Amino acid sequence: MIIRRGKGDLNVVYRPCRIDEVHGHETIRKMIANAIEHDKLPHALLFTGPSGCGKTSFARIIALGLNCEKGPTANPCCKCESCRSILNMNSMSVIELDAGRTGDVATVRQIINDLPAAPFNTRYKVAIFDEAHLLGGASRSEDALLKFLEDTPPHVYIIFCTNYPEKLKEVTRNRCKIIRFERLTINDVFNLLEEVSQFEGYNYNKEVLRYIAEESEGVPRAALSYLQQVAMEGSWTKKAASAIINAGIDIEEEEVINLCKMVLQGKFKAAINMVKKLKKVPIENLRMAICGYFVGCLKRSKHIDEAVKFSKIIDLFSIPYFNNPKPEHLLINSIFKACNIILNKEK
């Protein structure tokens, strides 16, 4: 069951705040619900998996459930004073830190110094470290946390969320209960899109919803973003949805197809020459076009070895370049690695 909260983008207002609002992740839902309600939740958790699949949402659900006035519960009321303060991001007992922005060692040490103090008007303190792999940078904020993880106070829970757990130290990983999130199935994403469309009163087309579900690659955040844009466009045709999802790049455009073919043949230099011819096309759009092309290759693959190659290439082109000052460098590097995968030269 979904619930609309507040105003804004669909992926924000339909963000789950209770276990029973989550689509997919059946095993994780049951495990976390039982752990919260039977007081068996580990005090240090490490959530890993692809972007947009629910890691941070689950961390917030835990923070809400532990401190809800009707709890501890896996399905917080979202109405009591504790829930409202957490939802409004002004709770003194729940700290959410984006390690990519404010993960310096001084900030982390201040959090560590504050956590042992008794919580104010709540049962527990919860510290959520998003993009946790960045704690291991030059500031070595991760080192500052190690001792605290070894002897966590009973009223404190620490949750790390990251796409790259391998970038954290092994000793850090060993001190956490690791929970791995996977991409949702197409049916799970489709059901979410249909529920949201019904709630919003859209005159939707099921074929278009299915297409969005397939193209979002199991990431509900991306699917809801596409749905919002398709609804704004209003025609509810597959052609319009395709144009939106491919960010204005026509996958049938000859030069884009030729670029993808060069990668498919492992011809790195030829592929780079094609990139130079496509200077008018934004790098981020090229990334998505290449990714979409190889998703098609994966769907058409005839044996497992071929499918594994295409899956590895899709992984290379699945991470957005928006926040990188030199996205063209990332594209060239991804193309090089993809060519090596095709030629069986990857390490």
Of 18, 3, 11, which Cα lies nearest the Cα of 61? 18
Question: In the numeric block, which tokens belong to residue 216?
Answer: 């979002």
Fill in the amino acid letter for 39: D
Task: Return d(Cα 128, Cα 145) in angstroms, integer.
Answer: 13
Task: Return d(Cα 326, Cα 153) in angstroms, integer.
Answer: 43
Domain 10-180 maps to which CATH number in 3.90.1170.50, 3.30.420.40, 3.40.50.300, 2.70.70.10? Answer: 3.40.50.300
Tell me the CATH architecture of domain 186-245: Orthogonal Bundle (1.10)
Residue-level pLDDT, tens digit, the chain, 347 residues = 788 988 888 988 999 999 999 999 999 999 999 999 999 999 999 999 988 889 999 999 999 999 999 989 999 999 999 999 999 988 999 999 988 777 678 888 888 889 999 888 889 999 999 988 888 664 577 888 888 888 889 999 999 999 889 888 899 999 999 999 999 999 999 999 999 999 999 999 999 999 999 988 888 988 998 899 889 888 998 888 877 776 545 444 677 888 888 999 999 999 998 888 887 777 877 888 888 888 888 888 888 988 999 999 998 888 776 566 788 888 999 999 999 999 986 65
Question: In the numeric block, which tokens belong to residue 191?
Answer: 């059901």
Residue located via tokens 């972007």: 51
Alpha helices in 134-237 (DSSP H): 141-150, 170-174, 186-200, 206-215, 220-233
Answer yes or no: pTM beyond 0.75. Answer: no
CA-derived radius of gyration, the chain: 22
Question: Are 338 and 313 within 8 A, CB to CB?
Answer: yes
Cis peptide, bond prior to residue 119, ω within 30 of zero? no
Residue located via tokens 């197409």: 186
